[in-house]
Chain A
Amino acid sequence: MAVPAPDLAVLRQLGERVRPLSAAAERVLPVPEALAGLLPLGGLGRGTTVATAGSAASSLALALAGPATMAGSWCAIVGVADLGLLAAAELGVDLGRTLVVADPGPAGWAPTVASLLDAVEVVLVRPGHAITPTTRRRLVARARDRGSVLVHVGGRVTVWAEAPDLTVTAGASRWEGIGEGHGRLRARQVEVAVAGRRGADRPRRASLWLPGPDGRIALASPAPSAATGEPATPAALREVG
């Protein structure tokens, strides 16, 4: 019996379609829909490390952590004392499942992060001091072991001895709603690029509303690789007044 040659395009399409499903909630924490398409697993892979960088690093980190907390996971913020928690709530983080250790001190930093990696799903950090390779390895191993996600929020990623599994970088931002002496900041479009190891070696990018005019995170334009069609959020919805 002749076996018909597999239609690779169809197979790839099918694979693409089943991918997020096979990455069941057990292994992947949910992220905003607009970001899911950029991440190789369609979410935050449990046990991985992620860094955010660029002009919207803090917003990106909060946005990434948000849906997981809404789904019942806990989030901890260690040593990022100036992170805006009002913004966190607006970007979808459930403050009812958020713990903050504002200043654990240089000596207490690593044990604190380790303890929290044991207990909560997402730990946001921005170490203010250099991390020894041993400490880093231990924390990364702890995250992998416990299935939690270590997120480095902006700042100098070089304090880590080696690159994280994923780096989510915000490129140029464009603000809407503000003019020269009038209006106010209403919405921001930002170019987001995702690069890293483990299936993310080919960088993916997209333009994102962070947040959009309606306060939500949305795709402003699809990824350039599939760049056709119009922007996801119509800009005509701008509010006046």
Chain B
Amino acid sequence: MAGADVPTRTLVVHAPDWPVLAAGPEPSAALVVVRANRVVAASMAARGAGVEVGLRRREAQRRCPHVEVVDHDPARDARAFEPVAASLDALTPGVEVAVPGTLAFATRGPSRYFGGDEALAGRVAQTVSDALHGRWPVRVGVADGAFAALLAARAAHPRGGPARVVAPGEGAAFLAPHPVDALLEVLEVPELVDVWRRLGLRTLGRVAHLPRGEVVSRFGPAGAAAHRLASGLDLRPLAIRRPAPELAVGCELDPPVERVDRAAFAAKALADELHARLGADGLACTQVLVEAQTERGEVLARRWRHEGALDAGAVADRVRWQLEGWLTSSGARPRAGLVQLRLVPVEVVAARGRQLGFWGGETRIDERVWRAVARLQAQLGADAVTVPEVRGGRGPGERVVQVPVATVDLTQARPAARLDAVAEPWPGRVPPPAPATVPHEPELVAVVDAEGREVRVSGRAEVSAPPAVVHRRGRPPAEVTAWAGPWPVDERWWDRTRHRRRARFQVVDEEGGALLLAVEGGRWWIEAVYD
């Protein structure tokens, strides 16, 4: 590879709000695509009504009541994007898909062939637009480095032509006025960007201006990567290696595969194998070539890349998306079942444990969680999955309530789930420790004194006699060895219909079992069990 640290001149094709096009047949419809209750893409009509990416589902529905809400499905996006990627295969062999909706390739060869960056960009825009039958705006950016090219593509405005070309050597200057948030397009560093913003480093130019050594020592590998990008350098030449060919993994598919689910099964196993092989060498993959061969000898290939490292799950996802794209593509290719599948790591970096955690880590776990939640909501109903929130109240059952998961944002910390969420004291609340079992249906019991008479509590909270035995249905009578109470509860005395006046007791039996009992109007029940 070239020794100089010069960013690769790159062309990026970007279709804004791709998930919308992938999900919706009608470009003019109001539609949002949501993931984990947050809008990830919105159609023009929805945006016109004030819907923005990042809004909660309900807020989006409030702003645009007729909006159609579709769940995000990366496989669907990839399937729809494959014809676009395929349309460019005639122009260059090096098309790399970053995410469905965005692809990139190095312009060096094709630019010379088509007579310059402008000509190439125009041609690419036309080709892609044709592939989409003009149904969707497409933007093309050319600049030094993939990051600058992506921002150039985003900046390209239809009225100024679909393409924006940043002259060679001007990448850093082009990036400088962009806000630091732009880093989030390619790096998952929300905390870092937040810190920088609060430090007053609001633009990429400010960040690039910082001495590199200082950034690395203060912000670690994440800071180093972000600093490189902000300075207009490529992330990748840092430690990119062309891996040895024997790291590629492949398998024969016998019988030939025509169905996506079978292919995906093979893809998962291959991805795991690839990951294990790279891991054994201390490597992680940043670009993978998915290659398939059909019965008739056709060879299909597509590169996927990620600015970070692709872990086994991410590779498996991309392979599955790609296979879906091929096997269900309207372009009538392939013409026969797949007989062979190969994954070739095109670029690898030294895997650093910490960096991998930084790329996936906790957020990936949370992603798994909300995927499971979405599945359960589909199976059991939207309100079947709940999360606890702390409220004010006196009884153990009142102080934590269940909130449907659809109404909260799982991807963020929820202060309402913390015990100190309710600061003000509630007089008369049951003191800690809290009981570990709080039945929803009160279990009626009989509480008697040593003579076997029912224990009564007077209006002035006086006990007729110490409770001696608790009779529970279906259990032997429990002898009370210790008890406390009565603790009168006089709730909503201002409201005649909802006014409650009862008393609570704690009782312990000879085996150490403890109950929270309540009595109202001569009836006793178990409010909670300390088990």
Binding site for B on A (CB under 8 A): 55-59, 62, 72-74, 81-91, 94-96, 98-105, 108, 111-112, 115-116, 118-120, 154, 172-175, 178-188, 190, 211, 215
Restricting to B352-366, which residues have a CB under 8 Å from any CB of A?
362, 365-366
Chain B residues positioned under 8 Å from A105 (CB to CB): 380
Restricting to B428-443, which residues have a CB under 8 Å from any CB of A?
431-440
Q: Is B506 an interface residue (CB 8 A)?
A: yes
Main secondary structure of the interface of A (DSSP, over half): mixed
Chain A residues positioned under 8 Å from B438 (CB to CB): 82-84, 86
Query: Which of B130-138, B193-201, B399-407 lies at the interface?
Result: B399-407
Chain A residues positioned under 8 Å from B405 (CB to CB): 99
Q: Is the CB of A95 within 8 A of B389?
A: yes
Q: Is the CB of B373 within 8 A of A85?
A: no
Q: Is the CB of B402 within 8 A of A102?
A: yes
Q: Is the CB of A173 within 8 A of B512?
A: yes
Residue with the highest number of chain A CB atoms closer than 10 Å, among B379, B386, B389, B482: B482
Give the contacting residue for A74; candidates B365, B431, B508; CB below 8 A.
B365
Q: Is the CB of B482 within 8 A of A101?
A: no
Measured CA separation A182–B436 after assembly (Å): 22
Q: Is the CB of B387 within 8 A of A100?
A: yes
Give the contacting residue for B484; candidates A98, A108, A120, A181; CB below 8 A.
A181
Q: Is the CB of B511 within 8 A of A115?
A: no
Cross-chain pairs A/B with CB under 8 angstroms, 10 sampled: A57-B531, A58-B436, A58-B437, A87-B396, A95-B418, A99-B373, A100-B402, A108-B379, A115-B376, A181-B484
Measured CA separation A240–B530 after assembly (Å): 22
Chain A residues positioned under 8 Å from B161 (CB to CB): none
Q: Is the CB of A84 within 8 A of B484?
A: no
Chain B residues positioned under 8 Å from A86 (CB to CB): 390, 396, 399-400, 434, 438
Measured CA separation A178–B371 after assembly (Å): 47
State the Cβ distance, A239 to closest chain B Cβ, in Å. Answer: 11
Return the chain A residue nearest B528 by Cβ.
A84
Return the chain A residue nearest B466 by Cβ.
A181
Q: Is the CB of B390 within 8 A of A104?
A: no
Give the contacting residue for A116; candidates B372, B413, B511; CB below 8 A.
B372
Q: Is the CB of A95 within 8 A of B434?
A: no
State the Cβ distance, B337 to closest chain A Cβ, in Å. Answer: 29
Chain B residues positioned under 8 Å from A111 (CB to CB): 379
Q: Is the CB of B437 within 8 A of A82?
A: yes
Q: Which 7 A-B pairs have the closest CB atoms?
A: A173-B512, A119-B372, A58-B436, A96-B417, A95-B417, A86-B434, A87-B434
Measured CA separation A178–B487 after assembly (Å): 14
Q: Is the CB of B506 within 8 A of A178?
A: yes
Q: Is the CB of B436 within 8 A of A83?
A: yes
Q: Besides A115-B375, A178-B483, 20 other CB < 8 A contacts?
A: A56-B436, A59-B436, A59-B531, A62-B436, A81-B440, A86-B400, A86-B438, A95-B419, A96-B414, A99-B369, A99-B386, A99-B405, A100-B402, A112-B379, A172-B511, A173-B513, A184-B431, A185-B484, A185-B506, A186-B433
Q: Is the CB of A190 within 8 A of B512?
A: yes
Measured CA separation A98–B400 after assembly (Å): 12
Return the chain B residue nearest A74 by Cβ.
B369
Main secondary structure of the interface of B (DSSP, over half): mixed
Q: Is the CB of A119 within 8 A of B402?
A: no
Chain A residues positioned under 8 Å from B396 (CB to CB): 84, 86-87
Give the contacting residue for B419; candidates A74, A90, A103; CB below 8 A.
A90
With A87-B436, A181-B483, A215-B433 as given contacts, are A101 and B380 in contact (CB-CB < 8 Å)?
Answer: yes
Return the chain A residue nearest B467 by Cβ.
A181
Chain A residues positioned under 8 Å from B387 (CB to CB): 95-96, 98-100
Q: Is the CB of B385 within 8 A of A72?
A: no
Q: Is the CB of B372 within 8 A of A115?
A: yes
Return the chain A residue nearest B384 by Cβ.
A101
Q: Is the CB of B483 within 8 A of A90?
A: no
Give the contacting residue for A120; candidates B362, B369, B433, B508; CB below 8 A.
B369
Q: Is the CB of B389 within 8 A of A84?
A: no
Q: Is the CB of A98 within 8 A of B388?
A: yes
Q: Mark B120-143, 1 if CB is under 8 A from A, else 0.
A: 000000000000000000000000
Q: Is the CB of B380 within 8 A of A112?
A: yes
Q: Is the CB of A87 within 8 A of B483?
A: no
Measured CA separation A111–B379 after assembly (Å): 9
Give the contacting residue for A118; candidates B372, B413, B419, B514; CB below 8 A.
B372
Measured CA separation A55–B417 after assembly (Å): 28
With A173-B511, A175-B512, A183-B484 as given contacts, are A100 and B388 in contact (CB-CB < 8 Å)?
Answer: yes
State the Cβ distance, B417 to closest chain A Cβ, in Å. Answer: 4
Give the contacting residue for B433; candidates A83, A102, A185, A190; CB below 8 A.
A185
Q: Is B333 an interface residue (CB 8 A)?
A: no
Chain B residues positioned under 8 Å from A83 (CB to CB): 436-438
State the Cβ distance, A143 to closest chain B Cβ, in Å. Answer: 14
Chain B residues positioned under 8 Å from A173 (CB to CB): 511-514
Chain B residues positioned under 8 Å from A88 (CB to CB): 388, 436
Q: Is the CB of A55 within 8 A of B512?
A: yes
With A100-B385, A182-B484 as given contacts, are A89 and B390 in contact (CB-CB < 8 Å)?
Answer: yes
Chain A residues positioned under 8 Å from B434 (CB to CB): 84, 86-87, 89-90
Chain A residues positioned under 8 Å from B471 (CB to CB): none
Q: Is the CB of B372 within 8 A of A180?
A: no
Q: Is the CB of B436 within 8 A of A104?
A: no
Chain A residues positioned under 8 Å from B463 (CB to CB): 181
Chain B residues positioned under 8 Å from A187 (CB to CB): 433
State the Cβ distance, B408 to closest chain A Cβ, in Å. Answer: 10
With A83-B437, A101-B380, A184-B484 as given contacts, are A95 and B390 in contact (CB-CB < 8 Å)?
Answer: yes
Chain A residues positioned under 8 Å from B417 (CB to CB): 94-96, 98
Q: Is the CB of A211 within 8 A of B379?
A: no
Q: Is the CB of A84 within 8 A of B436?
A: yes
Q: Is the CB of B437 within 8 A of A180?
A: no
State the Cβ distance, B364 to closest chain A Cβ, in Å. Answer: 11
Q: Is the CB of B512 within 8 A of A174?
A: yes
Q: Is B368 an interface residue (CB 8 A)?
A: yes
Q: Is the CB of B482 within 8 A of A175?
A: yes
Chain B residues positioned under 8 Å from A73 (CB to CB): 365
Return the chain A residue nearest B433 by Cβ.
A211
Chain B residues positioned under 8 Å from A108 (CB to CB): 379-380
Chain B residues positioned under 8 Å from A94 (CB to CB): 417
Chain A residues positioned under 8 Å from B466 (CB to CB): 180-181
Measured CA separation A173–B514 after assembly (Å): 9
Residue with the highest number of chain A CB atoms closer than 10 Å, among B375, B388, B483: B388
Residue with the highest number of chain B CB atoms closer than 10 Å, among A95, A115, A172, A188: A95
State the Cβ distance, A28 to closest chain B Cβ, in Å. Answer: 17
Measured CA separation A89–B413 after assembly (Å): 16
Q: Is the CB of B385 within 8 A of A180?
A: no
State the Cβ distance, A188 to closest chain B Cβ, in Å. Answer: 7
Chain B residues positioned under 8 Å from A118 (CB to CB): 368, 372
